[in-house]
Amino acid sequence: MMNEFILLRHRQIPDLDQLEVYRQHGGFEAFQNAVTAMNPNDVTQEVKASGLRGRGGAGFPTGLKWTFIDNENWPHYVVANADESEPGTFKDREIMEGNPFQFLEGVALTAYAIQATEAYIYLRGEFWQIAASLDQQIEELEAAGLLGEKIFDTDFSLRIFTHLGAGAYLCGEETALLESMEGKLGQPRLRPPFPPSYGLYGKPTVVNNVETLTNVPYIITRGADWYTSIGTEKSTGPKIFSLSGRVNKPGNYELPLGTTFRELIFEHGGGIPDGREIKAIMAAGASSSLIIANEEALDTPMDYESVPNVGADLGSASVIVIDDTVSIDWVLYKTLHFFSHESCGKCTPCREGIYWMRHIIDRIHQDEASWSDVELLNEVAYQIKGKCLCALGEFAIEAVTSGIERFESDFRAKAAEISSEG
């Protein structure tokens, strides 16, 4: 285990959500150093060298994304994605509540790196109180001369604003988020062009997740070499794992990337309640493939390169634990109801496909289906695959196809119930 928190520092430092306390612990030194002594490009290059990858789920190299910003088109924008809505994910909320100034410093550093003078924080509507706190904290930063006009007597100016969503999972997808910010329906855009060339109001925009941005001040202060000493070669740095489901101690755990599922679930999470056995793991919230929780899977390091070896992705590292009391058809019933509700309706395969998958899984779940319904469910899932503008359609089928393939006996049992009655 790490001795020192890098992201969840509020667990070690009381009152870290007070600006004075944050500054006593080195807060805004990275920002001051960057603005007064570094070129914007140096900041980007340091982040690129750190190997930091997007913590929202896609795992795209952060510094590389910043280099894609179109310098022929101005102004530039930074948008922090605080729409945290993936079932099983509750890490950004803890950062913003406990360690908000490190997050805001990350936003400010990113803005300096791409020379944006305005940054927005898009929060899900339910984070209404967090938005109100951030508004106040931003005011404090302006009063302290850390935001606003001509910061540290340089030519760099920056303002940060909050923007509340209103209950739409899809707004966590970066182009849907930008549409929503523009006052439109939260539906994805056709890509390319990607946000670094055509983002908010058609201007070059970097969209980064809250956890990603919260890493940045440390990378600037301690350097890329220090950062790459944490984690694995291709998955550097610390990660907050949101652990939920059938575990004794659910919660957020900040651990180096590359920590095994076993260590997270059994050492930190205290194992499975009521002496039950672990059956399946979803590593990326409801958008995950179902991993068979055998010894090989439990010993798999949770990093971007290793999780695919057990047929899944790390995603946002929202680890949902499923024990042997649960039938996998019920898991699909839950995830399909979620995705059916959250499909934005733009792409037909997702809108109609998930609607029908939900109806089929309802029948299976209610013991009214035969094996051919299970096959039909699988078939509809494969018809959605690769046919939508954004990843929601793909996410919705991950649990379906992997669940039927890897936990076939659960579905056989369901189908057998109907055939034995019929």
Partner 1 sequence: MIAEKYAAEIEIILAKYPPDQKRSAVMALLYLAQRDGGYVTKGDMVEISEILGITPTEVASIVGFYTLYHDQPEGVIRIQVCNDLPCALRGADEFLEKLCENLGIQVGETTPDGLVTIEAVMCLAACDKAPMFQVQSADGLSYYEDQTVSSALEVVETLRKQDAS
**Helix (H), strand (E) at residue 82:** strand 77-82
| Near partner 1 by CB under 8 A: residue from 148, 193, 251, 349 | 251
Query: Which of 293, 355, 367, 298 is closest to 330 using CA atoms?
Result: 367
**CA–CA separation, 332 and 396 (whole Å):** 9
What is the total count of residues that contact partner 1 (CB under 8 A)?
55
Q: Which residues pair with 102 in a beta bridge?
A: none
422 binds partner 1 per the rule CB under 8 A? no
Stretch of 54-62, 124-132, 225-233, 258-266 contacting partner 1, by CB under 8 A: 124-132
272 binds partner 1 per the rule CB under 8 A? no
Stretch of 13-21, 86-94, 308-316, 411-419 contacting partner 1, by CB under 8 A: 86-94
284 binds partner 1 per the rule CB under 8 A? no
165 binds partner 1 per the rule CB under 8 A? yes
Q: Give the three-class secondary structure for 54.
A: coil
| Near partner 1 by CB under 8 A: residue from 106, 250, 258, 353 | 250
- The token pair at 338 is 């979620």
Least distance in angstroms from the C-beta of 245 to partner 1: 4
| Near partner 1 by CB under 8 A: residue from 55, 189, 246, 365 | 246
HEC readout, 1-42: CCCCCCCCHHHCCCCCCCHHHHHHCCCCHHHHHHHHHCCHHH
Least distance in angstroms from the C-beta of 360 to partner 1: 18
> 295 to 354, contacts with partner 1 by CB under 8 A?
318, 320-322, 326, 331, 334-335, 338, 341-342, 344
Residues 63 and 190: beta-carbon distance below 8 Å: no
Dihedral angle over CA of 69, 73, 78, 79, nearest 10: -100
- The token pair at 100 is 């908000």
Q: Count Cα neighbours of 40 within 13 Å in the Cβ-side half-sphere.
A: 16
The residue whose two tokens read 């604003």 is 161
Least distance in angstroms from the C-beta of 283 to partner 1: 13
81 binds partner 1 per the rule CB under 8 A? no
89 binds partner 1 per the rule CB under 8 A? yes
Q: Give the three-class secondary structure for 103.
A: helix
User: Which is closer to partner 1, CB of 42 or CB of 139?
Assistant: 139
DSSP secondary structure letter of residue 167: S
245 binds partner 1 per the rule CB under 8 A? yes
> 18 to 57, contacts with partner 1 by CB under 8 A?
none
Residues that bind partner 1 (CB under 8 A): 84-90, 92-93, 120, 124-129, 161, 163-169, 180-186, 201, 242-246, 250-252, 282, 285-286, 318, 320-322, 326, 331, 334-335, 338, 341-342, 344
